[in-house]
């Protein structure tokens, strides 16, 4: 309950805030939302797997008919060369049916995109029109049972035979079976298969090959085996399965040869000399999957919050002192559960918009530099883990906040959660991605010291950690003494955006410096010649720091999200909207500081007094934002057709009105029974009065 | 990887630790596990709802045939008066199929138990034999759409009609529809209906009534309506639905009259004067649902940890410095994800055994006092939330730790998680239960001050908080200075069990005192006469403290779990087992202290130095326990028939052996291609040598 008077309470401009959330690809998003409102594209809860799979396939046909999926492809092949708009539109489909969305992602975002980005013009002309039209459904055969995160170590081979000018695709052992592939169990007629390219007795590393696997009638081609992964935790509209290859021959020209080629005589060539860099360049073209999931996760969060906050502001439980039952959203605990997650969803929405912008700049060619590609990869690897985890967390908390009603499939939470579960480990396992970010942070940190001057690094790290080392010294004491003054001064010192930024950034920098310093010590005592012993020691040292490095990567991602939110505030011109969104940004920033308070306290970055002030101010912000929360979810712009949750339709308020009218009617008619409790207290009062009189 | 030499590494006695986990009702547990191994009782992933519902019903028949469910009923009616053993056996069924388990829980633990505990001898004789034999499937009609947690406010009425000596059961508005009831949509032929008992114009509060609802052929009886809740997030083998009643008449004697009765002339009588206490006594007899869920959640955690730790100790990913790929469980992050959760599962298993013991003491009559009943309720309200949340958390983390394989239904995580989701909000919403615990803590705290002496309370609270207030004073400085000495001394000071206990207990006591103090201040300035204004102020004050009170309740539950673990250590005679389990207990205790480090730092209970020592020691414990983890999950005693997860069968190790044999064979035969990377470094080395020679 807000404590300010109604007059002084700002109200956001829902349209302006909504536009800020829709961002640069507003038109594509709205077009896609309109399509996602079509009942033919909606999940049917409990639909058996076989039917759901057929339905998802037919839904892809509807997407094609509606021109919903071709934006990213070349204009002259039926596309629009619109990379950012393509992903933006794709993200919106999650609210129709995630199975349809991800099956579409397999077809156009993985299978089609691999042909586009790893193939060359002849491949585009030969296959893309049929890929776009869905005449040629395909699978993306990268992951194997034995190797998921470590793609470089896959076992499938593509051995060149000069005699026939063919590649032989082969699965040498069960661990090399391609696994978890959408479209592999039933619908795929071809696959982009990743395999170790071997020619003239040399393995040139992982390359992608176009391999037909099934006839249009659905029969497997010779040498190709398929097994069905069966029922999954979600996304059961997708026919995931395994593929294996027994000496399957394909023409030499089926190698997707943008980054590496084999001539008729078997000689290998590549525009990228280093096999390592070549591999990462090829893999890097597939970053769009991560970008897509990031925004999809945000959309699912927004839907969950809209449903739960709508219901929470209608649902009443337990009699209140005011005489009516208390609205759930007026409970302190309920606010603590929902409102910080609302703030987080805003931060992540603005962060996704930023990620998508960088993605578009790189893929449109507008700013396609090696540096931007690397930044894009790091950004995607930072945001996708946090948003997909946050989506699961938010879907669960909102489902619980709606009690039993939250568990009924028609209220959406559980099926979205089941489907989005896999988002946290596919397209890059979240922990592996954060480790990637962590390694990039370490690299950037070390790069400050030209020529790999490790002594300078150590010195800088020591300086970085200086404040921490002196935490029992004067600096800490000074802050403690200052903090003994007014609480408001303590709050002021963390409320300012510069202060929030400094605290968030400091944590990232200090943690990275600490890890760098610890790694530097590793293997120090072991002579240079003992390479393996040194490597083992370094591996052990890294392993001991892994947990901290991943925490640092997460802190980095949080800082970037906070910055994206702060940047977005600049674009808000409406004063009230700006004020409310600033509260929301502060709640997000201070929430992170509260979450990591132990770190700030241990590192001597914050006094106990200040940490308490942060919590007190968070409580105040939550109280203020409680009354804003309906507007803030309204700005998501999710229509009833997208939400499709019975409890978000107002049905709960209607039921309460009916119940209240009934009770009032009975009372008025003198039919409402007196409660025994009331009778007893009346009797007690009467006895008292009697005694007093007697 | 353990750093100690193999000789010095203790190994637990799996049988002894296993027996400690099985506890007092080992025989019943093993009997139930044998039954749960029967394939006829197993979940079929993806089975369509309608078929799953019929299967679950037929599975209940198998339970009856095998004498699996009657233990709690009176001996002379076919039971065994074995309350603890009944729940213990019930808990084990979760690994067969949670739908079957919970449908059984509805039939015998709710419907049957309500007749047993709220009814009297005539009711037992009339209905229990048919309830036990499943001839009479029934629903437990307590929750309504409009009132879930607040049962006292339900809208269904049972109005006595002296003329016909009948009660008229009636649903006055849609909000009073009974909702989410298992057996209501299809199979229930009767229901125990909770309704406001009205006689002679007085509402005597909520009572339970036996109401026939369907013919054995499945037709609804006159005046009774049923609607199907349809697909849910899990437990789809249960036919949850709604029931509503339109002036349905039942005989007077269908009132389950143990705690309140209506004579033929309509006069009401009860052995419990206070309507409030009467209500809570009736509700209190149904505590067994919470006890059941607590242990079921633990069993699901154990299964998830067994599967993930087995897989994690076989699965390899990314080449390691040793020359082979690294085993997942050797990664620092992987250990941090799984091993603390293993420690937690042990604490919760021992805590559940304690809860079950108290339950048995009360329900067997051995120690059935009002105080024990209250303790039992508080204990159940404390443990059930933590274990059911921990089960969801563990199922999710383990599923992620197994990557894509974790998402395939045949590996168990996802379907168990979907089914257990509702455990956190049914049989008492977890947050509401923790608030109950918090209120009990406040009551006990206030009870220390005889005669409600609030001034004494305030003074005591101030003393309690004294250490905190003086956190910038000498005490803190002293600790800080002491901590500047050896890290080992800091560790020692928290490693001792007394230190762990003191820290955990101090946090509970201090938080409760803080809340009590804050509540005391509420409404102070408002005159006593202004009752509503004071009530509103007090409600607002409570609301502001709600989040903290729930946190205090959770801290209390954690302390009790820690104590249960510590107590269980006393029963372990094998020295190695004791040593390893002590590490595990320490990991659990210090893990809680690390999790709440910010609180300890802010409250001046721990210096920054000591907090760092806690984390460092946790890292050491995890390193030691990594090599113990397979034995520790073996002690759970979960057979392949109970686990039924492909990835826990050793299939991954077999695949790796096959792959390795293949590579070695190819190498031996000289067919293994050289990698371009190797070729390049050889060429580089050759060029170098040439230059040197030249």
pLDDT of residue A452: 55
**B664 touching chain A per CB within 8 A:** no
B181 bridge partner residues: B241
Residues A2-6: what's their mean pLDDT? 44
Q: How many CB pairs under 8 A join A and B?
A: 307
Q: How far is B206 from chain A (nearest CA, A)?
A: 11
**B232 touching chain A per CB within 8 A:** yes
Backbone angles phi, psi at A319, to 5 degrees: -60, 140
**What is the distance of C-alpha B82 from the center of its chain?**
22
The CA distance from B263 to B269, in Å, is 8
Write down the domain spans for chain B: 14-133, 140-275, 450-627
Please, are residues A382 and A288 in contact by the beta-carbon 8 Å criterion? no
DSSP type of residue B6: G
pLDDT over 70 at A479, yes or no: no
Specify the DSSP element, H or E, that contains B182.
Answer: none
Asked if A403's CB is within 8 angstroms of B543's CB, the reply is: no
Please, are residues A213 and A191 in contact by the beta-carbon 8 Å criterion? yes
Asked if A472's CB is within 8 angstroms of B484's CB, the reply is: yes
| Tens-digit pLDDT profile for residues A261-312 | 999 999 999 999 999 999 999 998 889 999 999 999 999 999 999 999 999 9
Q: Which of residues 262-321 of A touch B (CB under 8 A)?
A: 268, 275-276, 317-321
pLDDT over 90 at A579, yes or no: yes
B379 band by pLDDT with thresholds 50, 70 and 90: very high
Q: What is the dihedral of CA B461, B464, B465, B470, to 10 degrees?
A: 140
pLDDT of residue A666: 97
pLDDT of residue A474: 31
The CA distance from B285 to B291, in Å, is 12
Could you tell me the two tokens for B62?
């198998």
User: A588: closest CA among A340, A383, A386?
Assistant: A340
| Tens-digit pLDDT profile for residues B662-685 | 999 999 999 999 999 999 999 999
| Tens-digit pLDDT profile for residues A385-410 | 999 999 999 999 999 999 999 999 99
Residues B206-231: what's their mean pLDDT? 98
Between the alpha carbon of residue B573 and those of residues B628, B636, B686, the distances in Å are 18, 18, 65
Q: Which chain B residues are within 8 Å of A673, Cβ to Cβ?
A: 196, 198, 201-203
Q: What is the CATH number of domain A452-637?
A: 1.20.140.10
**B406 touching chain A per CB within 8 A:** yes
Residue from B44, B99, B173, B552 whose CB has the most chain A CBs within 10 Å, to mutate: B173
**B140-275: which CATH topology?**
Butyryl-CoA Dehydrogenase, subunit A; domain 2 (2.40.110)
pLDDT over 80 at B64, yes or no: yes
Q: Which chain A residues are within 8 Å of B421, Cβ to Cβ?
A: 396, 399, 407, 414
Between the alpha carbon of residue A21 and those of residues A14, A27, A94, B206, B297, the distances in Å are 10, 12, 17, 49, 40
**B547 touching chain A per CB within 8 A:** yes
pLDDT of residue A521: 81
A693 bridge partner residues: none
Specify the DSSP element, H or E, that contains B318.
Answer: strand B316-319
B377 band by pLDDT with thresholds 50, 70 and 90: very high
Between the alpha carbon of residue B641 and those of residues A11, B87, B439, the distances in Å are 59, 21, 43
Longest dimension (CA), chain A: 121
Please, are residues A204 and A275 in contact by the beta-carbon 8 Å criterion? yes
Asked if A544's CB is within 8 angstroms of B317's CB, the reply is: no
Residues B72-82: what's their mean pLDDT? 94
Q: At what angle do helices A332-363 and A608-626 cross, to 10 degrees?
A: 90
Q: How far is A67 from chain B (nearest CA, A)?
A: 32
Residue of A175, A325, A413 with shortest CB distance to B658: A175
B189 band by pLDDT with thresholds 50, 70 and 90: very high
Residue from B50, B673, B674 whose CB has the most chain A CBs within 10 Å, to mutate: B673
B132 burial (CB, 10 Å; 0-12 / 13-18 / 19+) is buried
Please, are residues B238 and B106 in contact by the beta-carbon 8 Å criterion? yes
Between the alpha carbon of residue B180 and those of residues A577, B94, B236, B511, B601, the distances in Å are 41, 20, 12, 36, 45
Q: What angle do CA B134, B140, B141 make, to 5 degrees?
A: 145
Q: Scanning every residue of chain A, which has its alpha carbon at the shortest distance from the alpha carbon of B484?
A: A472
Residue of B233, B317, B321 with shortest CB distance to A149: B317
Please, are residues B201 and B209 in contact by the beta-carbon 8 Å criterion? no
Secondary structure (H, E, C), B599-647? HHHHCCCCCHHHHHHHHHHHHHHHHHHHCCHHHHHHCCCCCHHHHCCHH
Residue from B167, B598, B665, B680 whose CB has the most chain A CBs within 10 Å, to mutate: B598
**A232 touching chain B per CB within 8 A:** yes
The CA distance from B63 to B137, in Å, is 14
**Share of residues in chain A with pLDDT > 90 (%):** 87
**B673 touching chain A per CB within 8 A:** yes
Please, are residues A202 and A268 in contact by the beta-carbon 8 Å criterion? yes
B493 band by pLDDT with thresholds 50, 70 and 90: confident
- With H, G, I as helix, E, B as strand and everything else as coil, classify residue A207: strand
Residues A136-153: what's their mean pLDDT? 97
pLDDT of residue B1: 40
B521 band by pLDDT with thresholds 50, 70 and 90: confident
Q: Which chain B residues are within 8 Å of A429, Cβ to Cβ?
A: 400, 403
Q: How far is A26 from chain B (nearest CA, A)?
A: 33
Residues A190-211: what's their mean pLDDT? 98
Please, are residues B414 and A421 in contact by the beta-carbon 8 Å criterion? yes
Choose the weakest-confidence range: A258-272, B197-211, B495-509, B521-535. Answer: B521-535
pLDDT of residue A286: 85
**What is the distance of C-alpha A43 from the center of its chain?**
21
pLDDT of residue B477: 36
Choose the weakest-confidence range: A257-261, A278-282, B51-55, B471-475. Answer: B471-475
| Tens-digit pLDDT profile for residues A19-46 | 999 999 999 999 999 999 999 999 999 9
Backbone angles phi, psi at A149, to 5 degrees: -65, -35
Could you tell me the two tokens for B525?
């300035």
| Tens-digit pLDDT profile for residues A87-97 | 999 999 999 99
Q: Which chain B residues are within 8 Å of A172, Cβ to Cβ?
A: 659, 662
Contacts of B245 (CB under 8 A, 6+ apart): B156, B169, B170, B171, B193, B211, B223, B224, B225
Asked if A204's CB is within 8 angstroms of B233's CB, the reply is: no
| Tens-digit pLDDT profile for residues A84-134 | 999 999 999 999 999 999 999 999 999 999 999 999 999 999 999 999 999
Could you tell me the two tokens for B262?
């209506």
**Share of residues in chain B with pLDDT > 90 (%):** 87
Choose the weakest-confidence range: A518-532, A542-556, B283-297. Answer: A518-532
Q: Which of residues 145-184 of A touch B (CB under 8 A)?
A: 145-150, 153, 155, 172-176, 179-180
Could you tell me the two tokens for B86?
């009944």
Asked if B658's CB is within 8 angstroms of A231's CB, the reply is: no
- With H, G, I as helix, E, B as strand and everything else as coil, classify residue B350: helix
Tell me the Ramachandran region of residue B200: left when phi exceeds 0, alpha when psi lies from -120 to 50, beta otherwise: left
pLDDT of residue A193: 98
pLDDT of residue A500: 96
| Tens-digit pLDDT profile for residues A629-673 | 999 999 999 999 999 999 999 999 999 999 999 999 999 999 999
pLDDT of residue A100: 98
Between the alpha carbon of residue A46 and those of residues A408, B242, B463, B615, the distances in Å are 11, 19, 58, 45
pLDDT of residue B536: 93
For chain B, the average pLDDT equals 93
Choose the weakest-confidence range: A471-480, B227-236, B674-683. Answer: A471-480
Contacts of B341 (CB under 8 A, 6+ apart): B301, B305, B390, B393, B394, B397, B398
pLDDT of residue B522: 84
Q: How far is B313 from chain A (nearest CA, A)?
A: 14
Choose the weakest-confidence range: A231-240, A410-419, A485-494, B219-228. Answer: A485-494
| Tens-digit pLDDT profile for residues A41-64 | 999 999 999 999 999 999 999 999
| Tens-digit pLDDT profile for residues B328-375 | 999 999 999 999 999 999 999 999 999 999 999 999 999 999 999 999
pLDDT of residue B474: 31
pLDDT of residue B463: 61
Please, are residues B392 and B400 in contact by the beta-carbon 8 Å criterion? no
Backbone angles phi, psi at A230, to 5 degrees: 70, -150
Residues B145-153: what's their mean pLDDT? 95
Please, are residues A115 and A127 in contact by the beta-carbon 8 Å criterion? yes
**A331 touching chain B per CB within 8 A:** yes
Residue of A196, A318, A655 with shortest CB distance to B146: A655
User: A559: closest CA among A516, A606, A531, A592?
Assistant: A592
Residue of B46, B180, B471 with shortest CB distance to A608: B471
Q: How far is B264 from chain A (nearest CA, A)?
A: 19
Q: Which chain B residues are within 8 Å of A601, Cβ to Cβ?
A: 597-598, 601-602, 608, 611
Q: Where are the beta strands (DSSP E) in B359-459?
A: none
**A473 touching chain B per CB within 8 A:** no
Residue from A425, A482, A671 whose CB has the most chain B CBs within 10 Å, to mutate: A425
Sign for the pseudo-dihedral over CA of A445, A446, A450, A455: positive
Residues A573-577: what's their mean pLDDT? 97
pLDDT of residue A3: 43
Could you tell me the two tokens for A83?
């990379």
Q: Which chain B residues are within 8 Å of A230, Cβ to Cβ?
A: 45-46, 408-410
pLDDT over 70 at B626, yes or no: yes
pLDDT of residue A673: 97
Q: How far is A63 from chain B (nearest CA, A)?
A: 27
B458 band by pLDDT with thresholds 50, 70 and 90: low
Q: Which chain A residues are within 8 Å of B659, Cβ to Cβ?
A: 146, 155, 172-176
Asked if A675's CB is within 8 angstroms of B205's CB, the reply is: yes
Q: What is the dihedral of CA A665, A667, A669, A670, to 10 degrees?
A: 160
Between the alpha carbon of residue A448 and those of residues A439, A458, A460, B469, the distances in Å are 15, 12, 10, 44
Q: Which residues of A55-85 are buried (b: 16+ CB within 10 A; e: fewer)?
A: bbbebbeebbeeebbbbbbeeebebeebbbb
For chain A, the average pLDDT equals 93
**A81 touching chain B per CB within 8 A:** no
Residues B622-649: what's their mean pLDDT? 98
CATH superfamily of B450-627: Butyryl-CoA Dehydrogenase, subunit A, domain 3 (1.20.140.10)
**A205 touching chain B per CB within 8 A:** yes
Between the alpha carbon of residue B542 and those of residues A75, A92, A629, B464, the distances in Å are 63, 41, 22, 20
B481 band by pLDDT with thresholds 50, 70 and 90: very low
pLDDT over 70 at B460, yes or no: no
Asked if A547's CB is within 8 angstroms of B333's CB, the reply is: yes
Asked if A597's CB is within 8 angstroms of B202's CB, the reply is: no
pLDDT of residue B659: 97
Q: How far is B680 from chain A (nearest CA, A)?
A: 9
pLDDT over 90 at B457, yes or no: no
Asked if B333's CB is within 8 angstroms of A550's CB, the reply is: yes
Looking at domain A14-133, its CATH class is: mainly alpha
Residues B81-98: what's their mean pLDDT? 98
DSSP per-residue string spanning B36-95: HT-GGGS--TT--HHHHHHHHHHHHHHHHHTT-S-TTS-GGGT----HHHHHHHHHHGGG
Q: How do strand A157-161 and strand A190-199 relate by DSSP bridges? A: parallel
Q: Which chain B residues are within 8 Å of A397, Cβ to Cβ?
A: none
Q: How do strand A166-170 and strand A157-161 relate by DSSP bridges? A: antiparallel
Q: Which chain A residues are within 8 Å of B146, Cβ to Cβ?
A: 655-656, 659
Residues A442-462: what's their mean pLDDT? 72
Choose the weakest-confidence range: A150-159, B178-187, B685-694. Answer: B685-694
pLDDT of residue A494: 80
Choose the weakest-confidence range: A192-201, A492-501, A618-627, B117-126. Answer: A492-501
- With H, G, I as helix, E, B as strand and everything else as coil, classify residue A550: helix
Count of beta carbons in the 10 Å neighbourhood of residue B446: 18
Between the alpha carbon of residue B275 and those of residues A620, B158, B203, the distances in Å are 39, 16, 10
């Amino acid at each position: 309950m807000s404590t300010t008077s109604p007059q002084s309470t700002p109200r956001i401009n829902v349209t302006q805030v909504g536009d800020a959330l829709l961002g640069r690809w507003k038109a594509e998003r709205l077009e896609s939302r309109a399509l996602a409102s079509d009942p033919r594209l909606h999940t049917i809860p409990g639909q058996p797997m076989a039917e759901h799979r057929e339905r998802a396939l037919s839904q892809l046909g509807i997407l094609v008919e509606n021109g919903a999926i071709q934006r990213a492809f070349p204009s002259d092949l039926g596309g629009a060369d619109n990379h950012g708009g393509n992903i933006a539109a794709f993200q919106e489909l999650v609210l129709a049916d995630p199975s349809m969305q991800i099956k579409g992602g397999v077809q156009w975002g993985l299978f089609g995109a691999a042909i586009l980005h790893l193939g060359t013009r002849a491949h585009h002309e030969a296959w893309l029109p049929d890929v776009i039209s869905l005449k040629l459904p395909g699978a993306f055969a990268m992951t194997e049972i034995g190797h998921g995160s470590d793609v470089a170590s896959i076992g499938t081979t593509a051995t060149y035979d000069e005699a026939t000018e063919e590649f032989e695709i082969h699965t040498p052992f069960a661990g090399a079976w391609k696994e978890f592939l959408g479209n592999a169990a039933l619908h795929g007629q071809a696959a982009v298969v990743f395999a170790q390219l071997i020619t003239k007795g040399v393995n040139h590393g992982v390359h992608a090959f176009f391999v037909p696997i099934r006839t249009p009638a659905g029969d497997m081609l010779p040498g190709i085996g398929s097994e069905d992964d069966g029922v999954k935790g979600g996304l059961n509209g997708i026919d995931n399965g395994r593929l294996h290859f027994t000496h399957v021959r394909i023409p030499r020209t089926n190698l997707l040869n943008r980054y590496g080629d084999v001539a008729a005589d078997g000689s290998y060539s590549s525009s990228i000399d280093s096999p390592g860099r070549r591999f990462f360049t090829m893999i890097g073209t597939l970053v769009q999957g991560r970008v897509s999931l990031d925004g999809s996760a945000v959309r699912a969060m927004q839907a969950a919050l809209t449903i739960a906050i709508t219901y929470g502001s209608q649902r009443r439980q337990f009699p209140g002192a005011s005489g009516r039952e208390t609205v759930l959203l007026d409970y302190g605990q309920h606010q603590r559960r929902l409102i910080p997650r609302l703030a987080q969803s805003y931060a992540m929405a603005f962060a996704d918009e930023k990620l998508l912008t960088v993605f578009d700049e790189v893929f449109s060619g507008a700013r396609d530099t090696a540096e931007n590609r690397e930044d894009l990869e790091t950004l995607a690897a930072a945001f996708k883990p946090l948003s997909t985890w946050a989506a699961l967390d938010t879907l669960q908390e909102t489902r619980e906040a709606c009690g039993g009603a939250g568990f009924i499939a028609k209220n959406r939470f559980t099926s979205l959660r089941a489907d989005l579960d896999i988002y946290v480990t596919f397209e890059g396992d979240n922990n592996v991605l954060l480790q990637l970010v962590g390694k990039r942070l370490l690299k950037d940190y070390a790069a400050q010291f030209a020529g790999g001057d490790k002594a300078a690094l150590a010195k800088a790290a020591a300086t970085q950690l200086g404040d921490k080392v002196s935490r029992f010294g004067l600096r800490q004491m000074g802050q403690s003494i200052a903090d003994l003054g007014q609480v408001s001064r303590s709050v002021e010192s963390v409320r300012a955006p510069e202060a929030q930024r400094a605290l968030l950034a400091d944590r990232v920098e200090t943690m990275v410096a600490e890890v760098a310093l610890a790694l530097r010590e590793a293997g120090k005592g072991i002579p240079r010649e003992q390479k393996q012993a040194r490597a083992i020691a370094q591996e052990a040292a890294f392993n001991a720091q892994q947990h901290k490095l991943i925490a640092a990567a997460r802190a980095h991602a949080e800082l970037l999200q906070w910055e994206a939110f702060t940047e977005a505030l600049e674009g808000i011109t409406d004063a009230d909207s700006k004020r409310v969104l600033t509260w929301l940004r502060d709640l997000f920033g201070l929430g992170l500081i509260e979450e990591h308070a132990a770190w700030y306290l241990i590192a001597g970055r914050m006094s106990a007094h200040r940490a308490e002030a942060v919590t007190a101010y968070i409580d105040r912000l939550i109280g203020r934002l409680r009354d804003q929360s309906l507007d803030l979810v309204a700005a998501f712009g999710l229509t009833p057709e997208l939400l499709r949750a019975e409890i978000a339709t107002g049905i709960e308020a209607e039921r309460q009105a009916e119940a209240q009218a009934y009770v009032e009617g009975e009372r008025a008619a003198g039919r409402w029974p007196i409660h025994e409790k009331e009778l007893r207290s009346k009797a007690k009062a009467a006895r008292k009065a009697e005694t007093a009189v007697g």
